[in-house]
Structures are given as structure tokens and as C-alpha cells.
Structure 1
Amino acid sequence: MYAYIYTFGCKVNQVESEKIVNELTCFNLELTENINKAEVIIFNTCAVTERAEKKFRSMIKKAKIENPSVLIAVTGCAAEKEKEKLKSLGADIVVTNSGKMDILEHIKSRTDHLESIFSSDGFIDAENISMATRTRAFVKIQDGCDSNCSYCIIPSLRGLPVSRSTESILSEVKGLVEKGYKEIVPVGIHVGKYGLDLDNDIDLPALVEKIVRIEGDFRIRLTSIELNEMTDRMVNLLVNNQDKICRHYHIPLQSGSTHTLQVMNRKYTADEYISKLNELKMKVPDASLGADIIVGFPGETDEHFNETVDTVRRSGLEHIHVFSYSDRSGTVASEMKNKVPSKVKSARSKELRDIASELKAVAANKMIGKTLRVLTQKDNTAITDNYFTVKFKEGVEPNLFLDVLITNAYKDGTLKGDIVNE
């Protein structure tokens, strides 16, 4: 019996899909990359952008038309908001986020082929998950968000912040390191909220400190951390553990206009953002900085957009993800007037993406002549701790830490390097 799974959206979804895939294989289901060959299809969906929703709706409808007998199960954030719509498109089973880990129970009720061995605590222990390259492991540390940014639907779909126990996280990380994973990535819907709902005075910096102390040859890559969570304590942690914590910090911006930030219900100004990033650049040499930016937010004028461009150029960002605003039903922003026309959003998006490419290329050129520690991947590539891709001429075994002399930089921001040691 063939099974196919398609994952949309965030790293949390990726972690959860890995668990589902791993459990499916326990029942001798053969995974297939051909959706038309599958007898069971699972879509783990995202509702953050309209584009993602259009894609999975199309895939569900097409899959059912081409194979009416296929069993389609849908979970993830879209399952929270449009259950009946998904069923009308062809979904046989729709499971919300809270029941995601029971999805095999639902599938089992429609087939005689599967038995469920899922736990129901909502968190996933990845000790039994195996990846082919054994390079990077995502570890879910929390779920939910209560920040209520005016454009974001996630709080209504994922609920309030809920943290996983510290002991469970540390046990999983130790197991993954023992299995040979070289990069550990704590993930969540809002990782900076970690521990605030627990009673043991734990928070994200304290958790990271505990992970750093775990023995083994591995590094930690932190994901998105909000500006107000990049406290002096967190900065000192990054500065004092550069050998263990990757020097790549993703700090969401969303807009470089202070006016727009206020309307978005973000809790900082453009100048505060620039100041913090400049501090990080000063204290952590060769650190690279990433951000998400939304263009075309309701009421965004040419002046506001130009302020965003100015903030981007002054903040030292190198890895920028640009999104065009799209209404999410039920959010404050969806009810706002003065919507930006699609053509204007597209033009602004292109302009900012061009700037992002320019800044990444400039940053890559600054790496030439430096010796960087990399983690090798497949296909003769490696990832530096500051998140640049390095290409090699010769074949390189994956999952090795190597020192590499950067000899060239390509226009797309990737690097060329020679191995200094093996």
C-alpha cells in the first residue's frame, strides 16, 4: 500500500510530518513520491498565505479527480479554519492541529491496514525518526502564539503558547546527537515564548544554555527570534557561545516603516530594529542576519515602502524573505481599508527581492578569503554556521564538520571553497 505526504509551511509542520512518515513506515507502508500512485495521501497544510491555500486546494481537487478511490487526509492550520470546504474539494478526513498526532487513528477507521502507535500529548519525540543524511534535526519545543499581530491568523489556529518540558527536549537532543546529527534546530510557532507557561523559571535562553552543555560534536541553529526577545541576556549567550550556536540570527522585521509596524501591532520601531542588528554585527563578527518582510500591507504608501527599503539597507540584513500581503479572514488587517492594489504589491515585492539579492551577494563577497567552519551536505555542498551555501569541486561525504577557505562568491550568494582540513 503506497502513501504520499505533502507538507506546506513552517518547520513545525516539517517536524510533525517527519513523525507521521516515520510511523507510516512502521506499518510497512511504502512511501512514494508519485502522488498518482498513492492509495493514502496526507496533506499537512498551512494557512499563513493565500498562495499556500490555493496550492493545496488545487492539489486535493486534482488528486481526487485523477484517483477517486484514493483516501485523502488533511491536517494542519487550514484544517482548523475550513473543514467543510476541504471536504467539498475531496478530503475524506480532516484533522485539526490538536488531533494531528492521531491522524493514523482516523485513517485506520477508514481502512483495515493500519494500527496507531501515536501518543496524544501533542509533542513529538524524534528519537525514533531517521533521516537519510543525518545532518540536521528539528526539535519541536513549543506550539502556539498570543502576539496577535494584526495580519496573522496563526493564534486562532494554533492556540495559546504551550511549552514542552525541558527534560523531554534535552533527552531528545541527547538521543539525536548520539545518533550522529550534527545540527540541532529548536523549532516552534513562537520559540521566544518558550517556558513562559511553565512553573520552573525556564525560558528560551535558559533552555539553550542547557542544550549547549550537552556533550557531543554538534551545533545549534536558532530559528526566528523576535526583536523584543533578543534581550541582553540572549545576546550575551550568542556572543559567548559562537563555537556552538550558529552565527545566523533570523529576526522578523515585517516592515521597515514605524507607522506600519504600529498598525501591524508589532512592538518596536524601525530605529530600534536597526540598533539591535547593528549591535549584533558589532559583537559577533561575520554574523549573518535574516528577516521576513511583508509588502503591500493595508495603507502602505510609497513613503512607507521607501522607509522599509531604507531600514533594510541600514540594518545589515543579508537573508531576506519577502511576502506580498494577503488578507486572512478573521484578522484585524483583513477588515482594514486602503488595500494596496495587486500590481503595486507585485512591483514593490520585486524591488525588495532585487535588493535582497544584491545584499546577499555583497555579504557573500565579504566571505572571500575567510576560513569558515561548515557542515557538509549531499551533492558536494556544505552550510556555514552563518548560513551560506558552499560548493566544492571534489566529492565530499555528508555530515562532516570541515574548515573551508572561501575562494569565490557567485551572484546568487553561494560560495566556492577549498577544504583546509579533513
Structure 2
Amino acid sequence: MKFTVLTFGCQMNVHDSDWLIRAMESRGWTAVEESEANIFIINTCSVREKPEQKVYSVLGRLAPLCKNPGDFVAVGGCVAQQIGAGFMEKFPHVRLVFGSDGISQAPAALEDLARNHDKKLVLTDFVPEYPEREGGEVSSNLDLLPPGIGTIPGQAFVNIMQGCDNFCAYCIVPYTRGRQKSRAAEAVISECRSLVMAGVREITLLGQNVNSFGMDKKGAELTFAQLLYRISEIEGLERIRFTTSHPKDIAPEVIKAFGELPNLCPSLHLPVQSGSDRILKKMGRKYDRARYLGIVDGLREACPDIALTTDIIVGFPGETDEDFEQTMDMMERVRYESSFSFKYSDRPGVAAVRMHPKVDEEVAQNRLARLQESQNRITRESLEALTGREMVVLLERPSRKQEDGGVSWRGKDPGGRVINVHFEGCAEEAKLGGKLVRVKIIEAKNHSLVGAKLGEPW
């Protein structure tokens, strides 16, 4: 069977799609471009309104491509969990709907539907424990890893948990991904070890709130800090990252790890959402400005070079000009190297839907523009301050802009910053992905850096 996967939303969705591609290829299916496929899998996101609307648009576009009896569409992810069988009522070419817990059953379901053309399946029940997945194992040879969506040479993502217990007032995740379920620590460590044996040099641990790993009802035999220390011991693992962190759950031991573990990257995505104590309370975030800034101080004491990034929502119901100015002040105090910022939008079933007054759309847009302008300035200043520094870059892919006399590649330093490096006299087809190279920063752009290589890649 020929299939394609279309992915929307977060890094967890990208990772889920990568696993699904591997699982189906292990069953003899072939991943192809959309124009060649007869089975289409859409992995959806409902955190914000726009990605959800895109799904309906894509389903309409795919309808004419399902010409034969065996052609069909499968819809997975958060919107699938939310809408369920409703997709099948509106779009007859949808024959499989699977939620976040149902993805582990999706490969078998896809095979079943490919054989039985009149059958339809809905897999949206939540399960009490983390559903381990089979059939999408990594190869023992990095060169044989399939080039799935988001796959970057030398890098891999590992799920350590699923779901969330926080129920922030604006967030639909607990309703679409379910309650928190930690994965067995030994399963996580085993997967990390297998990836490193395959040649992976950087692993990112994924979860809705990695800091609360092991704190759910079933629990786990290790805390998140203990898990970090265990994974750090894997021989050959150059870099460890993790996302996402909820500030209320970050433990002192995790902060301390940034100063003690040599392969824990000095970068952290720490969503603040708002700089106003009043809005943070309405959001149900369970920390205030003082607590958040105390965490930032602790991180910078443990690791002075740590690069901090964040998420910010503007226009939350009831947000005043004063509340927004406190968010702007928080940005200046912390000086995030980058941020994901959005206007608030109602999501079905969350507490904030019932909160008033709603912020005028134009006011929210103006606030967002101001915040993003300030972020662009801080980002530029932060990058300029790095000129002259030496960095080790993990190369990912050829740069979009190329120079004559060689080839330019882009990669990231331990802080997660994008760095472009020119390799003079190097052939365009050179296999540099997944290699490390030491560079000296010679130029700062608006959102990236340029480095001059100081030695040969290894």
C-alpha cells in the first residue's frame, strides 16, 4: 500500500507521525508523496483554531483523490479525539479516526481497513496507562533510518509521557490527549540507548509537562531529574534536550542538573504565558511572577549561558493594559532569546470560554504586534552579543542560501540557536548531516548566526 502522512501542530505530533511512518513501512507499506498515495493519514492539532480549520480544508481537498474502493483517509491526533465519528458523517472518505491513545492501535487498524473496504473504525477511548507502541522500532544503523517527517540526521525525539493534569483555563490538551500517563522509565532509557547505538547524537525528551514525569497515579520508578541523570550516562550521547516544562513543577534537582550534566543542553523552553499575577491566576497556572523569576535566577546561577525561550498569550479574557505591560516587563527582565506568542482564542470546553470580558480583536492584535517587535529586538541583541564566541554546531541540512565555491549548511549550537556554516570546496552532496563542527561566530542575523569553521567535522 502507498500512504502519506500530513502533520499539523506540535513536535509531539511530528514525532507521532515519524513513528507511524516507521510502523507502516515495517509492515511493507510505502511512504510516498501525496500525489502518489491511495491512503492519507492526517495528524491533527486543536491547540489553536487555525490548525483545526486547516484539517477541514485538507479533507475537502483529498476527497477527489480517493477514487478507488481501497482509497481512504485516516484522521488522528487532537482534533480526531475532539470530533470523533463526526468526521465520518461529514466526510465519507474518512474511514479511520484515532486519538492520542489510539495511535498505538492505528497500524493494525490501517491494515484492517485496507483489506475490508466497507469497514470504518473509531479509536478514541483513553487508556489508564501509557500505551507502548510496537512496530516502529529504530534501525540499528543510522543510515537505514527512514526519512520521515521532521527526521533530522543525528537527532531523535523520545516520548516520556502523554497527557496533562493541569487543566489550564485556556488549554484543550487534557481533553484531547487525556490525563497524564508517565511511560516506564526503563522503556525510555532503552529507547534512548538504541537510538545512540544507531548513531543518534542528540535526543529530545517529549511530554506535555516533562517536569511532572512520574507524578501521576500510576507513577514511575524515577523522578524526571533522576531520569535525566540516567540518560546522561549513556555513552556516546552528546546532547539532551527536553520540552515542554511547566514552571510550577520544575524541581530544584532539574535546575541543578543544568550545572552538573555535561550533555544537558544549556537551553530551556519555559512557558510564562503572562507576566501579570492576576492573569496567571485566571489562567490557573499555579505560579506567580516572583516564583517564575526565582526559577529563572536559579537556572542562570546553575548555568549562566542558558538560553531561555517561552510561550506567551495576549488578549486573555479580562487582560487590561496594565496586565499587558507587566508581560512586556517580564520579557525585558528575562530577555528570552525567542518566544511563541499568540492571541487568545476560545477552544471548546475549556474554562476560559466562560470568562469575560473578551478583549477586543484589534486591541489584542496591537498588543501582539508590540510584543513581537520587542522580542525581535531582544533576539537580535542576544545574537549580536555572541559574535566572536566559539560554538559546536550539530549540522542538520543544507542552508537555504548557498555561496559559490562550496556548500553552506545550517545546524544548531547547544543553546538551540540556528547557525549557518560555509564549507569551502565541499561538494553539494557531501554527507554532513548529523556531524559536529566547531565554529567561530562571525556575524549575527535577525534570527540566526553565521559561523566560520575552525576544524573538520566529526
Taking structure 1 as the reference length, the TM-score comes to: 0.93
Query: Could you say which residue in structure 2 is the equivalent of 1:264?
Result: 283
**Separation in structure 2 between the aligned mates of residue 166 and residue 340 of structure 1, nearest angstrom:** 44
Counterpart contact for 1:222–1:245, Cα < 8 Å: no
Distance 1:92 1:297, change over 3 A: same
**Separation in structure 2 between the aligned mates of residue 357 and residue 184 of structure 1, nearest angstrom:** 28
Query: Could you say which residue in structure 1 is the equivalent of 2:304?
Result: 285
Counterpart amino acid of residue 364 in structure 1: L
Q: Tell me which moved more, 317-326 or 99-108.
A: 99-108
Q: Sequence identity, in percent?
A: 29
- Tell me, what secondary structure is at the counterpart of 1:393? strand
Confirm whether residue 42 of structure 1 aligns to residue 41 of structure 2. yes
Query: Could you say which residue in structure 1 is the equivalent of 2:186?
Result: 167
Distance 1:256 1:68, change over 3 A: farther
Counterpart contact for 1:375–1:382, Cα < 8 Å: yes
Query: Could you say which residue in structure 1 is the equivalent of 2:273?
Result: 254
Counterpart contact for 1:370–1:406, Cα < 8 Å: yes
1:223 to partner: Cα distance: 1.5
- Tell me, what secondary structure is at the counterpart of 2:275? coil
**Separation in structure 1 between the aligned mates of residue 321 and residue 28 of structure 2, nearest angstrom:** 57
Among candidates 228, 233, 253, match of residue 248 of structure 2 = 228
- Tell me, what secondary structure is at the counterpart of 1:261? helix
CA RMSD of aligned residues (A): 2.1
Query: Could you say which residue in structure 1 is the equivalent of 2:132?
Result: 123
Query: Could you say which residue in structure 1 is the equivalent of 2:124?
Result: none
Q: Tell me which moved more, 195-204 or 136-145.
A: 195-204
Distance 1:199 1:421, change over 3 A: same
1:406 to partner: Cα distance: 0.7
Among candidates 203, 206, 210, match of residue 223 of structure 2 = 203
Query: Could you say which residue in structure 1 is the equivalent of 2:415?
Result: 386
- Tell me, what secondary structure is at the counterpart of 1:359? helix
**Separation in structure 1 between the aligned mates of residue 360 and residue 130 of structure 2, nearest angstrom:** 44
Counterpart contact for 2:192–2:231, Cα < 8 Å: yes
How many pairs align?
414
Query: Could you say which residue in structure 1 is the equivalent of 2:440?
Result: 405
Confirm whether residue 17 of structure 1 aligns to residue 51 of structure 2. no
1:330 to partner: Cα distance: 0.7
- Tell me, what secondary structure is at the counterpart of 2:422? coil
Confirm whether residue 420 of structure 1 aligns to residue 423 of structure 2. no
Distance 1:199 1:62, change over 3 A: closer
Matches within 5 A, 1:77-96: 77-87=78-88, 88-90=90-92, 91-96=94-99
Query: Could you say which residue in structure 2 is the equivalent of 1:117?
Result: none
Query: Could you say which residue in structure 2 is the equivalent of 1:184?
Result: 203
**Separation in structure 1 between the aligned mates of residue 419 and residue 67 of structure 2, nearest angstrom:** 45
Distance 1:160 1:202, change over 3 A: same
Counterpart contact for 1:60–1:89, Cα < 8 Å: yes
- Tell me, what secondary structure is at the counterpart of 2:101? helix
Among candidates 210, 213, 217, match of residue 233 of structure 2 = 213
1:231 to partner: Cα distance: 2.6
- Tell me, what secondary structure is at the counterpart of 1:14? helix
**Separation in structure 1 between the aligned mates of residue 72 and residue 414 of structure 2, nearest angstrom:** 42
Q: Tell me which moved more, 97-106 or 16-25.
A: 97-106
- Tell me, what secondary structure is at the counterpart of 1:221? strand
Counterpart amino acid of residue 103 in structure 1: A
- Structure 2, unaligned runs of 5 or more: 118-128, 140-144, 399-408
Q: Tell me which moved more, 282-291 or 301-310.
A: 282-291
1:248 to partner: Cα distance: 0.6
- Tell me, what secondary structure is at the counterpart of 2:114? coil
Confirm whether residue 294 of structure 1 aligns to residue 329 of structure 2. no
1:201 to partner: Cα distance: 4.6
1:285 to partner: Cα distance: 2.6
Distance 1:299 1:68, change over 3 A: farther
Counterpart amino acid of residue 60 in structure 2: K
Counterpart contact for 2:38–2:65, Cα < 8 Å: no
- Tell me, what secondary structure is at the counterpart of 2:243? coil
Query: Could you say which residue in structure 2 is the equivalent of 1:102?
Result: 105
**Separation in structure 2 between the aligned mates of residue 199 and residue 152 of structure 1, nearest angstrom:** 23
**Separation in structure 1 between the aligned mates of residue 5 and residue 306 of structure 2, nearest angstrom:** 36
Query: Could you say which residue in structure 2 is the equivalent of 1:326?
Result: 345
Counterpart contact for 1:375–1:400, Cα < 8 Å: yes
**Separation in structure 2 between the aligned mates of residue 66 and residue 341 of structure 1, nearest angstrom:** 41
- Structure 1, unaligned runs of 5 or more: 115-119
Counterpart amino acid of residue 209 in structure 1: Y
Counterpart amino acid of residue 71 in structure 1: F
**Separation in structure 2 between the aligned mates of residue 268 and residue 294 of structure 1, nearest angstrom:** 16
